Amino acid sequence: MFADFEKYIKTQTAVLTDDEISMIARAATVTNVRKKQLLLQAGDVCRYKIFILEGFLRTYGVDADGEEHVMQFSPALTWTTEGESYANCIPSNYNIEAIEDSRLMLWTKDTFTGLMSNIPSLKQYSENLVAQNLHTSRNRLYKAISATAEEKYEDFVKTYPGILLRVPLRMVASYLGVSLKTLSRIRQAQLQR
């Protein structure tokens, strides 16, 4: 059942042994969620680290006008959580929602902390993930403040080649921080080229 997880972790890190990866997998709770189901609601504390076995999640905020803004897309074979809420046990500013029927592995904080005490390499791997997330976040921030709408879209298509077929265009627009109108115009212009 965890073959995909175990295979993925081995591509990510050499510091965990097969036994350790198996121990981490067996500590997870596996759950199926339906499209549009919320894993985390803004205002609640994020209690899980999540690994997506199948499906697709998104992390998004909702502004005072009810407008949704997508912070993150999480396809299969990636990790997600709301780190600030999870780490500090504070209400989350963001929602995590399944945008397709999904199959997930969940670890509570207690479980994951216990695993890290028993498996020092998991702590190392986990720190590396946080550092990698920081680099990704900073590079995306740099694009957000420096790139044109066209550049943002082209970069998105390159980074996530399959996503456009699976995600409504309005979510992509909100992820890029451009209006749906602007994004439609850019796509129209590209089709005409």
- Residue numbers at the binding site for its own copies (CB under 8 A): 61, 63, 67, 69-71, 83-84, 87, 93-94, 127, 130-131, 133-135, 137-142, 144-147, 174-177
Q: How far is the CB of 35 from its own copies (least distance, A)?
A: 24
Q: How far is the CB of 101 from its own copies (least distance, A)?
A: 27
Q: Looking at this protein, which amino acid is placed at residue 177?
A: G
Q: How far is the CB of 67 from its own copies (least distance, A)?
A: 7
How many Cα atoms occupy the beta-carbon half-sphere of 69 within 13 Å?
13
- Nearest CB to its own copies, comparing residues 68 and 101: 68
- Nearest CB to its own copies, comparing residues 2 and 60: 60
Calculate the CA 105 to chain-centre distance: 13
Residue 150 to residue 81: CA distance in whole angstroms: 30
Measured CA distances, 86 to 74, 104, 134, 164, 179 (Å)? 17, 17, 16, 30, 31
- Nearest CB to its own copies, comparing residues 103 and 123: 123
